[in-house]
């Protein structure tokens, strides 16, 4: 039964990040089907942060779907400010193509992936396609090599493989794609990762190797991590250790990833 689940699973960046963090956590969530509600965070401040982030993403989706703008008086003050900064940063218009909450899937060459972009933006005059990813946590975007983060790898690879219909004449090159990370709390800061044919091939090799590894792993080999920093913040800690999770801080799944060490890594569906 669990083998069939692995075969049927479209891997997201979150699924791969969970596997990188803790194989047992991956097993509990994706093979055993044990899901915790999003409000499992202990403090009211953390729950409020989750709700503010969700509201911001809903506002962005409606804005880029049809240019809808809710009056600031109807929104929490903080979120209203974020929303205004978003509109200043990436204004909606009717000339270009905006695809908010766009989901694409790839199933080819042993690589089965799904990605859901906060915004897929197509500048038709410049023949440019951009993925925007909105962050709302309370610290600036960190340093490091963002091109090696799992979210970057999965998003750009999926777009490169399944995004051909968005390009004029269905012509698509790795150099046409970019992923932009942006946080309305820090509007002057953004991270841009520009794709390339070399990155595309490198990512393909990594993804195929990683998915092959996961699918070949025996059920009992999905073992717990020995990294206490990950374990202490895990919702499955009561099952593993009989202790509640320490709600130290609220972070996105993708921000818990370790950067990949490339020296250790030797049918299309729309």
pLDDT in tens, 116-170: 999 999 987 777 889 999 999 988 998 889 999 999 999 999 999 988 777 655 5
Q: Which tokens is 30 given?
A: 């994706």
Closest of 32, 7, 148 to residue 23, by C-alpha: 32
Cβ neighbour number for residue 196 with a 10 Å cutoff: 14
Is residue 113 within a helix (H) or strand (E), and if so which, with residue range? strand 111-123
DSSP state of 165: G
Angle at 157 between CA 155 and CA 158, to 5 degrees: 65
First to last CA, the chain: 27
pLDDT bracket for residue 251 (50, 70, 90)? very low
Give pLDDT tens digits for 180-212. Answer: 999 999 999 999 999 998 999 999 999 999 999
Helix (H, G, I), strand (E, B) or coil at 94: coil
pTM, rounded to two decimals:
0.87
Is residue 121 within a helix (H) or strand (E), and if so which, with residue range? strand 111-123
- pLDDT over 90 at 174, yes or no: no
Strands (E), 135-264: 177-182, 190-194
Is residue 112 within a helix (H) or strand (E), and if so which, with residue range? strand 111-123
Give pLDDT tens digits for 98-112. Answer: 999 999 999 998 899
Rounded to the nearest 5°, which phi and psi values hold at 25?
-60, -40
Assess contact for 225 and 22: CB atoms under 8 A: yes
Structural domains in the chain?
2-264 (3.90.320)
Which of 121-127's residues contact partners 24+ apart within 8 Å by CB, and which partners? 121/90, 121/96, 121/97, 122/96, 122/97, 122/98, 122/166, 123/96, 124/95, 124/96, 124/97, 124/168, 125/95, 125/96, 127/167, 127/168, 127/176
């Amino acid at each position: 039964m669990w083998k069939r689940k692995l075969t049927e699973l479209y891997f997201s960046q979150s699924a791969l990040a969970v596997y990188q963090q803790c194989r047992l956590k991956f097993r509990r969530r994706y093979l055993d089907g044990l899901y915790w509600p999003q409000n499992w965070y202990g403090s009211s401040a953390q729950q409020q942060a989750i709700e503010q982030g969700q509201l911001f993403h809903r506002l962005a989706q409606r804005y880029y779907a049809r240019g809808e703008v809710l009056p600031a008086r109807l929104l929490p003050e903080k979120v209203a400010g974020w929303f205004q900064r978003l509109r200043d940063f990436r204004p909606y218009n009717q000339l270009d193509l905006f695809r908010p909450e766009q989901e694409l899937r790839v199933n080819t060459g042993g690589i089965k992936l799904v990605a859901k972009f906060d915004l897929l933006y197509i500048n038709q005059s410049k023949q440019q396609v951009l993925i925007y990813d909105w962050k709302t946590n309370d610290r600036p975007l960190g340093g490091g090599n963002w091109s090696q983060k799992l979210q970057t790898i999965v998003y750009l690879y999926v777009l490169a493989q399944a995004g051909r219909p968005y390009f004029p004449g269905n012509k698509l090159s790795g150099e046409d794609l970019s992923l932009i990370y942006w946080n309305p709390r820090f509007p002057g800061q953004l991270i841009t990762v520009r794709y390339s044919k070399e990155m595309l091939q490198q990512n393909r090799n990594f993804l195929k190797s990683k998915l092959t590894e996961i699918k070949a792993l025996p059920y009992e080999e999905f073992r717990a991590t020995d990294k206490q920093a990950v374990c202490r913040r895990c919702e499955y800690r009561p099952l593993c250790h009989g202790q509640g999770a320490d709600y130290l801080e609220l972070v996105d799944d993708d921000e818990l990833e370790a950067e990949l060490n490339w020296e250790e890594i030797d049918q299309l569906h729309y």
